[in-house]
Amino acid sequence: MLRWYQCRDLEETLGGQIMRLGMFMQPVHDVNRDQTQVIEEDRETILLADKLGFHEVWVGEHASATVEPITAPLVFLATLLGETKTIKLGTGVFCLPNHHPAQVAAQAALFDHLSRGRFQMGIGTGSLSSDVELFEVGGDTDRNDMVRESMELIQSIWDGEPPYSIEGKYWNVKIEDMARSEFGVGHFVKPYQKPGPPVAISIMSPKSNSARIAGENGWIPISGAAFLHPRYTSGHWQTYAEGCEKAGREADPNIWRVSRSIVVAPSDGEALDYVLNPEGPMSYWYRYFLSSIKARKLTKYVAPEGHPDPDNITWQEIAKEQCTFGSPQTVLDKLVALRDLTGHFGVLTAMAHEWDDKVFCQRSLTMLAKEVMPKFSQHSDADSQPRAAE
C-alpha cells in the first residue's frame, strides 16, 4: 500500500470546506491551425490564469495526436516557470503505461526542484486510441495494474538508495554497479517536496477503477470528463470513498477536483451564440469527443436525461447540456446546481479551450475568476458532503 502523497497540499489540510478554481488543459486544437500559434496561446492561457489567482493547472500528454499536441507536459510547463508566480503546475497526466517508471521518477523530481515545489504529479492509464496502439498497451493489457506497479517503483526509487534490484511484472529497476557511487553515479535525484509531490489521478468513465485506486492510495481524484453528464460524476466520489474506506482513511472532499467546460459572457444569449457557433472551438471540441464517445459506445453517459436516442445525439445537444455557459449569474446558478447534485468538491476545474477570439476568451476567464468564483465559494457549506450516486 502506498503511504505517501496523502492530501499533502497545505491548503488542503486547513480543515473545513474550501472552494478553489483550477484549470485542465488537454489541450484540444483544430488540426488546421498553426501549431506554434496554438501552443503559444496555451501558454498565454496559463499566464492569465496565474494572474487571476487560479490555484492550479493540469496539462495533458499525448504522443500521437496533432489535435492534442502537447507531447511532453513537463517540457511545456518548464517554459512557464519564470513567468508564473503562484499557480501550481501539474501533469494531466503522465500516461504511466507508456513510460518506464525510472524515467518518470527522474523527470518529475527534476521538475519539482525547478518549480520549487509547485509541481503536482497527475498520473493515469492513458486512453488515446493511437497512443494505446503505439505503445502496445491495448487489448487485454491491464493498464490500471501498470499504473499501480509504476507508482510502486517510482516510490521505491524516491524512498530508496542504490543499489536497486527490483523486478516487476512490467518493468525492472536495476542499478547494481556502485563502483563510482561516491560521485553520485547510480543515484537518483530525489524530489524537492518531501516525501514527494502530491499525486493525482484522472477519472473518466462512470465506474472507473482509477477512482478506487486513488482512494486506496490517498491520491487526489480528478473527475476530468467534462463532457460526462453530472449525474455520473457523483459515482466517481462514491467509488473513491469506497477505496478510502478499504484503506482505512477518511475521504476528504476538499481534494476532489470536478471538471466543467465554462463559458461566461455578459449575457446568456452571447454565451449561447459562442458555444453553438458551428465554426467555433466549442463545436470542434464537442465533435472531437463525440467521435471518441461513439467509438467506445458511451453515448448514454453524455446524453441529457431521458434522451430518446443517445446513439444519434448531436454535438449541439451535448454542448447545451454539458457546457456551463451564460451570464455570471446564470453560470453561478448552474454551478450551484452542479454542487447540489454532486455534493461538496474542493476545486472547480475549468476546461481550457482554444482561443479563436482572444478578447472573448480572456474576458470569459476573467469573469469566471472575478465575478463567479467569489460567490460560488460562499456555497461551500461546512456540513455539506458529496452525494452517493443513485
One digit per residue, the tens of pLDDT, for the chain of length 390 reads 344 344 444 344 444 677 999 999 999 999 999 999 999 999 999 999 999 999 999 999 999 999 999 999 999 999 999 999 999 999 999 999 999 999 999 999 999 999 999 999 999 999 899 999 999 999 999 999 999 999 999 999 999 999 999 999 999 999 999 999 999 999 999 999 999 999 999 998 777 889 999 999 999 999 987 888 888 888 899 999 999 999 999 999 999 999 999 999 999 999 999 999 999 999 999 999 999 989 988 898 888 888 999 999 999 999 999 999 999 999 999 999 999 999 999 999 999 999 999 999 999 999 999 999 999 998 765 445 555 554
How far does Cα 338 stand from its chain's mean position? 18
- Cβ-based neighbour number of residue 116 at 10 Å: 10
Phi first, then psi, for residue 347 (nearest 5°) are -135, 120
CA distances from 155 to 166, 231, 239, 243 (A): 12, 35, 24, 20
- How far apart CA 314 and CA 322 sit, in angstroms, is 12
Pick the CATH number of 10-377 from 3.40.50.300, 3.20.20.30, 3.60.90.10, 3.40.50.720: 3.20.20.30
- How far apart CA 72 and CA 318 sit, in angstroms, is 30
Instruction: Kindly provide the residue ranges of all beta strands, DSSP E only, lying in the chain, ordered along the sequence.
Output: 20-25, 56-59, 88-91, 94-95, 119-124, 164-167, 172-175, 199-203, 220-223, 257-260, 262-264, 324-326, 347-351
Domain boundaries, the chain: 10-377
If you search the block for the grid coordinates 517554459, which residue do you land on? 79
DSSP code of 182?
G
Q: Which helix (H) or strand (E) holds 113?
A: helix 101-114
C-alpha R_g of the chain: 21
Phi first, then psi, for residue 76 (nearest 5°) are -60, -50
